[in-house]
Structure 1
Amino acid sequence: MRDDIEKALEHFLKKRSPAFWSRGTYDLPKRWRKTSDAFGACLKWFLMDCLGITLLVLLYFICVPTVAFLQQYIGVRGRLVCGKLPLSNTTVTLWDDNVIASDVLLAEAKTDRNGRFEIEGGTTAFFTMDVRLKADHSCNEKRQCYRRVDLPVPSCYVYRGSGVVRWFEAGTLNMSFPFPGEERICTR
């Protein structure tokens, strides 16, 4: 069987004109055209030229799903109030709290006139994100000062992929009370 394939391939290779052999990347060396082991020559050509392309395509199909698996997403919604009044136009941010590298800002939003916010964001990370919800507000503060509240978001609301699967409902947060770890920042 192999002899028949070799003979047919050798016959095919001998009948081609010189113009056939000068087609750029498909140009087989002359020593391969004249050899009796045409099957081995074609195998060498395949391994040298086509295998690299095959490996690149294979690498692409391995890496793309891996990157998609590393994508993480979260969504938080709730309402901010100061006593009985809604905190409108208050900046709310989502952060990925990294231990080794610097923290990553996932998303930023402002509360509406009723104090409601809906914020979602994501990043690419190998380990599950440690998400923090931060709110900068001036409830019970003087004009030049504001308070920054830093609240953890449960990791069970972080999902692999893009888009919110399940929202973390923060509820109504009354900012007139002090929160643990709260910062007071004053500007002059």
Structure 2
Amino acid sequence: MVSLIICIILLSHLTFDALAEYSQSVAVRGSIYCNGSPSGGQKVKLYDRDSLEHDDLMKEGLTDQSGHFQLSGYEEELLSDIDPRLIILHECNVPCIVQMVIKVPNSFVSSGTTPKKTFDIGTIHLDEKLNRNFECIHSL
């Protein structure tokens, strides 16, 4: 009887560990330009896109005077891998605030809370990337 109770306790711990959340992390860096000049003060956000619930904000920040940024963050997931997205909010050549979404490749997702690699998006020229059918999120 005692061995049955011990087996039940061990199995419950193993099941709980299998369902436990685990940390995954990601890092992104790059530069943002508008009309050939560095775009300082642009808001950048790092999200984990979720299918069934609200997306999780992992980190946000602003580009510096040179248009550079670097973000890293992590998220706890129960049964799936994170689906990281970089969101750039900007007003380059538009009458409102527009968001540009860049998917971070899965190969840049690391186990644990500290990213092992950084996804470098290079230099984004917002005036060249703007789709003429943009959607405003906020009017100015």
TM-score range, shorter chain: 0.7 to 0.9
**Would the aligned equivalents of 1:98 and 1:130 in 2 still touch at CA under 8 Å?**
yes
Q: Distance in 2 between matches of 1:94 and 1:181?
A: 24
Helix, strand or coil: the match of 1:99? coil
| Aligned residue pairs, count | 134
> Gaps (5+ residues) in structure 1?
1-43
Scaled by the length of structure 2, the TM-score of the pair is 0.81
Equivalent AA in structure 1 for residue 36 of structure 2: K
1:179/1:166 CA distance change after superposition, 3 Å: farther
Helix, strand or coil: the match of 1:165? coil
Helix, strand or coil: the match of 1:176? helix
Scaled by the length of structure 1, the TM-score of the pair is 0.61
1:182/1:140 CA distance change after superposition, 3 Å: same
Q: Which residue of 2 aligns with 1:82?
A: 34
> Gaps (5+ residues) in structure 2?
none
Q: Which residue of 2 aligns with 1:71?
A: 23
Q: Which residue of 2 aligns with 1:164?
A: 115
State which structure, 1 or 2, has the greater radius of gyration over its C-alpha atoms: 1
Q: Distance in 2 between matches of 1:180 and 1:187?
A: 16
**Would the aligned equivalents of 1:131 and 1:152 in 2 still touch at CA under 8 Å?**
yes
1:152/1:180 CA distance change after superposition, 3 Å: farther
Residue 128, structure 1, aligned to residue 81, structure 2: yes
Write the mapping of 1:8-87 to structure 2, written as runs, cut at 5 A. 47=2, 55=9, 59=13, 63=17, 67=20, 70-87=22-39
1:181/1:119 CA distance change after superposition, 3 Å: farther
Aligned Cα root-mean-square deviation (Å)? 2.8
The structure in which a higher percent of residues are helix is 1
Equivalent AA in structure 1 for residue 41 of structure 2: N
Q: Which residue of 2 aligns with 1:153?
A: 104
Q: Distance in 2 between matches of 1:141 and 1:118?
A: 25
Residue 95, structure 1, aligned to residue 57, structure 2: no
**Per-residue deviation, 1:147:** 1.5
The structure in which a higher percent of residues are strand is 2
**Would the aligned equivalents of 1:149 and 1:179 in 2 still touch at CA under 8 Å?**
no
Greater relative contact order structure (CA < 8 Å, 6+ sep): 2
Equivalent AA in structure 2 for residue 166 of structure 1: K
**Per-residue deviation, 1:71:** 0.6
Q: Distance in 1 between matches of 2:33 and 2:131?
A: 14
1:123/1:181 CA distance change after superposition, 3 Å: farther
1:180/1:152 CA distance change after superposition, 3 Å: farther
